[in-house]
Amino acid sequence: MVRTLSFRISSLIASLLLITALAVMMSVWVSTYRFAQAQISRDLSVGSNIFQQVMGNRNQQLTNSAEVLAADFGFRQAVATHDVDTIISAMDNHSSRISADMMAILDLNGIPEVTSHINTSALASLNKGLNFKSIVARGGASLVMPLNGKAFQIVMVVIKAPAPIGIAVIGFEIDTRLALQLKQITGLDVTFLVDQQNFPTKLISTLSSPSPTELWSSIQPNWGVSFRDEPLLQSVSFPLYSSESGDIDVLVTDDLRRVFTQFDQLQLTIIAIASLAIVLALVTGILFSRQISRPLRQMVNITRRIATGQYKNHIQIKAQTREFNDLVDAFSGMQDELHDREEKITFQATHDLVTGVINRQTFTERVQDHMNLNETFTLIGFRVSNFRQINDMFGPTTADKSLINLCYRLQPLVPLLARHGGSSFVAFLEGIIDDGRLNKLAEMVRLASEADGLNINFEVQMGVVTYPADVENSIGLMRRLDIAMDSARYAHNCIHFYKAGQEEDYVKRLKIVEDLRSAMRDHGRGLEMHYQPKLNLQTGQLNRAEALIRWIHPEQGFIRPDLFIPLAEQSGLINALTEWIIDSVALQAALWHQMGHNIQIAINLSMQDITRADMLDIISHTLKKYKVRPEQIAFEITESELMQQPEQTIERLERFRKAGFRLSIDDFGTGYSSLSYLKSLPVTELKIDREFVMKLAEDVNDQTIVKSTIELAHRFNLEVIAEGVEDFRALKMLSHWGCEWAQGYYISRPLPADQVVEWMEVLKTQHELVSLARETAQV
Ligand code: C2E
Ligand code: CA
Ligand code: CA
What ligand is nearest to the CA atom of residue 564? Answer: 1
Mean pLDDT of 104-121: 82
Residue nearest to atom 11 of ligand 1 (CA): 750
Strand partners, 246: 196, 243
Ligand 1 and 725: CB distance under 6 A: yes
What's the confidence (pLDDT) of residue 240?
A: 86
Closest CA to 166 of 208, 135, 190: 135
Angle between helices 767-778 and 728-736 (to 10 degrees): 10
Mean pLDDT of 317-329: 79
What CA–CA distance (Å, rounded) separates 208 from 522? Answer: 126
Residue nearest to atom 42 of ligand 1 (CA): 604
Residue nearest to atom 14 of ligand 1 (CA): 744
3-state secondary structure of 452: coil
What's the confidence (pLDDT) of residue 408?
A: 92
What CA–CA distance (Å, rounded) separates 210 from 48? Answer: 20
What CA–CA distance (Å, rounded) separates 78 from 83? Answer: 5
Residues with Cβ within 5 Å of ion ligand 3? 666-667, 723
**Residue 630 DSSP code:** G
Q: How far away, in angstroms, is 409 Cα from ligand 2 center? A: 44
Percent of the chain with pLDDT over 90: 38
Biggest alpha carbon distance in the chain? 221
Q: What is the CA radius of gyration of the chain?
A: 72
What's the confidence (pLDDT) of residue 400?
A: 93
**Residue 726 CA: which ligand 1 atom is closest?**
18
What's the confidence (pLDDT) of residue 744?
A: 96
Closest CA to 456 of 387, 407, 523, 357: 387
DSSP 680-724: H---SEEEE-HHHHTTTTT-HHHHHHHHHHHHHHHHTT-EEEEE-
Ligand 1 and 726: CB distance under 6 A: yes
Q: How far away, in angstroms, is 447 Cα from ligand 1 center? A: 39
Residue nearest to atom 2 of ligand 1 (CA): 604
Burial of 213 (0-12, 13-18, 19+ CB in 10 A): exposed
3-state helix, strand, coil in the chain (%, to 5): 55, 20, 25
Q: How far away, in angstroms, is 595 Cα from ligand 1 center? A: 26
Residues in the chain: 779
Residue nearest to atom 8 of ligand 1 (CA): 548
What ligand is nearest to the CA atom of residue 667? Answer: 3
**Residue 560 CA: which ligand 1 atom is closest?**
26
Q: How far away, in angstroms, is 546 Cα from ligand 3 center? A: 10
Ligand 1 and 723: CB distance under 6 A: yes
3-state secondary structure of 189: strand
Mean pLDDT of 573-595: 96
**Residue 380 DSSP code:** E
3-state secondary structure of 373: coil
Q: To test ligand 1's pocket by mutation, which of 546, 562, 581, 751 has the most ligand atoms within 8 angstroms of CB?
A: 562
More confident residue, 211 or 573: 573
**Residue 562 CA: which ligand 1 atom is closest?**
30
Ligand 1 and 731: CB distance under 6 A: no
What's the confidence (pLDDT) of residue 229?
A: 53
Q: Is 477:467 a contact under the CB 8 Å cutoff?
A: yes
What CA–CA distance (Å, rounded) separates 347 from 710? Answer: 64
More confident residue, 666 or 112: 666
Mean pLDDT of the chain: 87
Q: Is 715:745 a contact under the CB 8 Å cutoff?
A: no
211 pLDDT exceeds 80?
A: no
**Residue 532 CA: which ligand 1 atom is closest?**
14
Q: How far away, in angstroms, is 666 Cα from ligand 3 center? A: 5
* pLDDT band, very low/low/confident/very high, at 776 (cuts 50, 70, 90): low
Ligand 1 and 443: CB distance under 6 A: no
**Residue 574 CA: which ligand 1 atom is closest?**
44
Q: Is 151:204 a contact under the CB 8 Å cutoff?
A: yes
Ligand 1 and 322: CB distance under 6 A: no
What CA–CA distance (Å, rounded) separates 723 from 533? Answer: 11
* pLDDT band, very low/low/confident/very high, at 416 (cuts 50, 70, 90): very high
Strand partners, 668: 688
Vertex 565, ends 560 and 569: CA angle to 5°?
160
Q: How far away, in angstroms, is 487 Cα from ligand 1 center? A: 22
Strand partners, 552: 558
Residues with Cβ within 5 Å of ion ligand 2? 604, 636, 666
379 pLDDT exceeds 80?
A: yes
CA 370 to mean position of chain CA atoms: 34
Mean pLDDT of 174-180: 88
Among 546-550, 593-597, 656-660, 768-772, which is the least confidently predicted range? 768-772
What's the confidence (pLDDT) of residue 82?
A: 85
What ligand is nearest to the CA atom of residue 560? Answer: 1
**For residue 191, how many C-alpha atoms fall within 13 Å in the half-sphere facing its CB?**
28
Most confident of 37-46, 314-323, 656-665: 656-665
What CA–CA distance (Å, rounded) separates 394 from 232? Answer: 114
What's the confidence (pLDDT) of residue 222?
A: 60
Ligand 1 and 745: CB distance under 6 A: yes
What's the confidence (pLDDT) of residue 227?
A: 46
Mean pLDDT of 159-171: 87
Other beta carbons within 10 Å of 154: 25
Q: How far away, in angstroms, is 562 Cα from ligand 3 center? A: 11
More confident residue, 274 or 191: 191
Ligand 1 and 569: CB distance under 6 A: no
3-state secondary structure of 222: coil
Ligand 1 and 548: CB distance under 6 A: yes
Residue nearest to atom 15 of ligand 1 (CA): 744
Mean pLDDT of 495-516: 90
Ligand 1 and 584: CB distance under 6 A: no
What's the confidence (pLDDT) of residue 228?
A: 47
Mean pLDDT of 613-620: 95
Other beta carbons within 10 Å of 685: 20
Among 490-499, 678-687, 765-774, which is the least confidently predicted range? 765-774
Helix locations, 72-83, DSSP H: 73-80
Q: To test ligand 1's pocket by mutation, which of 529, 535, 548, 668 has the most ligand atoms within 8 angstroms of CB?
A: 548
Q: How far away, in angstroms, is 328 Cα from ligand 3 center? A: 81
What CA–CA distance (Å, rounded) separates 158 from 168? Answer: 6
Mean pLDDT of 756-772: 75
